[in-house]
Amino acid sequence: MKKIIAANWKMNKNSKEAVETITELSAILNNSLPDEKEVIIFPPFISLEASTHALVSGPFQFGAQDIYPAKEGAFTGEISPSMILDAGAAWVLTGHSERRHILHENNTFVGQKTSFALACGLNVIACVGETLEEREAGKLYDVLTAQLNQTLAKLPTPLSPERLVIAYEPVWAIGTGKTANNEDIIEAHAIIRELLKDIIGTSVSQTRILYGGSVKAENASEIIKLENVDGLLVGGASLKAESFAKIICA
Ligand code: PEP
**pLDDT per position as a tens digit, 146-195:** 999 999 999 998 899 999 999 999 999 988 888 889 999 999 999 999 99
138: left (phi over 0), alpha (psi -120 to 50) or beta: left
Residues in a beta bridge with 94: 126
Q: How far is the CA of 102 from the centre of ligand 1 (A)?
A: 15
* Cβ(95) – ligand 1 distance below 6 Å: no
Q: Is the pLDDT of residue 70 over 80?
A: yes
Rounded to the nearest whole angstrom, what is the distance from the C-alpha of residue 114 to the centroid of ligand 1? 20
| Nearest atom within ligand 1 for CA of residue 212 | 5
* Mean pLDDT, residues 139-144 taken together: 97
The pLDDT of residue 58 is 92
Q: Where are the alpha helices (DSSP H) in the chain?
A: 15-28, 45-52, 81-86, 97-101, 107-119, 132-136, 140-151, 182-200, 217-224, 241-248
Q: What is the pLDDT of residue 205?
A: 82
* Residue 201 binned pLDDT confidence (cut-offs 50, 70, 90): confident
Report the candidate in 201, 209, 248 with the shortest Cα–Cα distance to residue 226.
Answer: 209
Residue 176 is predicted with a pLDDT of 86
Range in 33-47, 134-148, 192-206, 223-237 with the lowest mean pLDDT: 192-206
Cβ neighbors of 9 (< 8 A, separation 6 or more) are 18, 41, 42, 43, 44, 47, 65, 238, 239
Q: Which atom of ligand 1 is nearest to the CA of 93?
A: 3
Computed over every residue of the chain, the mean pLDDT equals 96
169 included as an active-site residue:
yes
232 φ, ψ to 5°? Answer: -135, 140
Query: Angle of helix 140-151 relative to helix 107-119, nearest 10 degrees?
Result: 40
User: Of the residues 96, 98, 105, 189, which is catalytic?
Assistant: 96
pTM: 0.97
Q: Give the distance (Å) from ligand 1 centre to CA of residue 82.
A: 26
215 CB less than 6 Å from ligand 1?
A: yes
Pocket test for ligand 1, best of 168, 169, 238 (most atoms within 8 A of CB): 169
User: pLDDT-based confidence at 203, cuts 50/70/90?
Assistant: confident
Residues 233-243: tens digit of each pLDDT:
999 999 999 99
pLDDT digits (tens, 9 = 90+) for 30-41: 999 999 999 999
Residues of the chain above pLDDT 70, percent: 100
Confidence of residue 220 (pLDDT cuts 50, 70, 90): very high
The pLDDT tens digits for 82-125 are: 999 999 999 999 999 999 999 999 999 999 999 999 999 999 99
